[in-house]
Amino acid sequence: MKKLIALTLALVMLLTVSLAFAMTLEPKNTEIESLAGATINATVGEYNEDTKTFLVTLYDDDQYEIDKVEKLAAGDTLLAGDRIHTVKETKETEDGGIMIVCEDGEEIVFVQVGDDHFTAESTFDNRRFMHAFAELHLPAAEGIVYEDNSNPEPEAKPVLAEGLEAILKAKAEKEETSIGFDYYATVITLNEKLEIERIHQDFDVAQ
């Protein structure tokens, strides 16, 4: 009986020590330095007729330092896509990359971008993990253009709409039939006055 109690205490102490050394990995603070002239993933929301602006939420990729990702182990905590994941195990991908299997069933692949950091993607839908970093009220530029490239057919060409009225009509149709101007599929380009001069939309698995 004493041996059993001692063994149980030893296991509890080992678990406590392991948890004490567990790492928490968060994305780097990588928000864009200047919005003027930038092309950014964004959710383009409601248009306010009084202020003549769109409610826009801006997103940036979750980015992680390579050496910290390489140290991830079972029991560690990973923040990705604004969600907390507990690492179950790490694996090497066929191309030599790193995949994290999480206790919630999520599988996350880290993709090297540049010399010193990774971005993260879900194996479920191949989406990049991103986080919101700003919510702004932005006006449309004169001659604003919408490029709809969401048709997945290889021979399909982008459908263009020019001018605010045409874009508001296209936006309403998208919101009624799909995910609208959601940040996973939508990028906006801002001019030097921080006006939206271009909205571009690609195919998304959720549309």
One digit per residue, the tens of pLDDT, for the chain of length 207 reads: 544 444 444 444 444 444 456 789 888 766 677 899 999 999 999 999 999 999 999 999 999 999 999 999 999 999 998 899 999 999 998 887 899 999 999 999 999 988 888 999 999 888 899 999 999 999 999 999 999 998 888 888 889 999 999 999 999 999 999 989 999 999 999 999 999 999 999 987 776
Pair of tokens at residue 165: 């009225």
* pLDDT score for 21: 62
| Residues 15-73: tens digit of each pLDDT | 444 445 678 988 876 667 789 999 999 999 999 999 999 999 999 999 999 999 999 99
Question: Given the structure tokens 């191949």, which residue do they identify?
Answer: 126
32-70 burial string, b = 16+ CB within 10 Å, else e?
A: eeeeeeeebbbbbbebeeeeebbebbbbbbbbbeeeebe
* pLDDT score for 175: 94
Helix (H) or strand (E) holding 59, with range, is strand 53-61
Assess contact for 49 and 116: CB atoms under 8 A.
no
Assess contact for 137 and 55: CB atoms under 8 A.
yes
* pLDDT score for 5: 46
* pLDDT score for 106: 92
